Amino acid sequence: MARRVFPSDRLALAERYAELLATDGVVRGLIGPREAPRLWDRHLLNCAVLGEWLPADAVVADIGSGAGLPGLVLAISRPDLALTLVEPLLRRTTFLAEVVEGLGLDNVEVVRGRADALHGKRRFDVVTSRAVAPLGRLLEWSMPLVDAHGALVAMKGSSVVTEIDEARPVLRRLGCAEPEVRELGVGLLEQTTGAVRVSWADPATVSWPLSSDAGAGSSGRRRKSSSGRRSRPKGRG
């Protein structure tokens, strides 16, 4: 099944990453011991199909990257993407940097810090995440990083509809469009991957810096700004 998801010339990298997760990842507490035998089905493959919803040559931030899921998987399966892995814990960023160096992933940058530390400093075409927070909080952390024509694309489980309903006040306050929900990996995986995509309701009115608690005002409109443009990673972190 992995051959149907990963490009043939990238499969060896995915296999090496899986090996690192099953060994160093377990020893260093990044992956539970019970997860090691099911890394492909539960982690690598379902993260890889998130790439179905990412545009070509996109500049992507993966927040709360942890052991690199989905960020490193996307960097392996989609070499056209420029990935910035954002993770606050030192032991995780150390592992991520070691994997990036060991696999020679020159399309990845590792940043130690919280997502909100990048607010007003960086913007991306796509901001991804997996099992980081309920959608409401995720929007507040992610949307200030999303470029005017970009989107949040997060992996979500069966509770996604409930999360969307609970996040309605945040969606309105930030000026987001109606979330889209999609099943990814259909026809490829036995268990598909659920994901939600959130873009801006009116890209022409978004301005930066946009803080997570910034209201849209009575009109819900913001002036467009030309500052703080997104950029590709400067190099391996």
The predicted structure's pLDDT at residue 109: 98
Which domains, ranges and CATH numbers included, belong to the chain? 2-198 (3.40.50.150)
For each of the chain's 237 residues, which pLDDT tens digit applies?
Answer: 677 888 889 999 999 999 999 999 999 999 888 887 788 878 899 999 999 999 999 999 999 999 999 999 999 999 999 999 999 999 999 999 999 999 999 999 999 999 999 999 999 999 999 989 999 999 999 999 999 999 999 999 989 999 999 999 999 999 999 999 999 988 888 888 999 999 999 998 888 777 555 443 333 333 333 334 455 665 444
The predicted structure's pLDDT at residue 8: 87
Task: Tell me how crowded residue 199 is: count the other CB atoms within 10 A of its CB.
Answer: 20
How far is 152 from 60, CA to CA, in rounded Å?
10
The shares of helix, strand and coil residues in the chain, as percent rounded to the nearest 5, are 40, 20, 40
E strands, 57-119, are 59-63, 82-87, 108-112
CB 116 within 8 A of CB 144: yes
The predicted structure's pLDDT at residue 237: 40
The predicted structure's pLDDT at residue 149: 95
Predicted TM-score (pTM) of this structure:
0.88
The predicted structure's pLDDT at residue 211: 57
Q: What is the pairing mode between strands 124-130 and 146-155? A: parallel
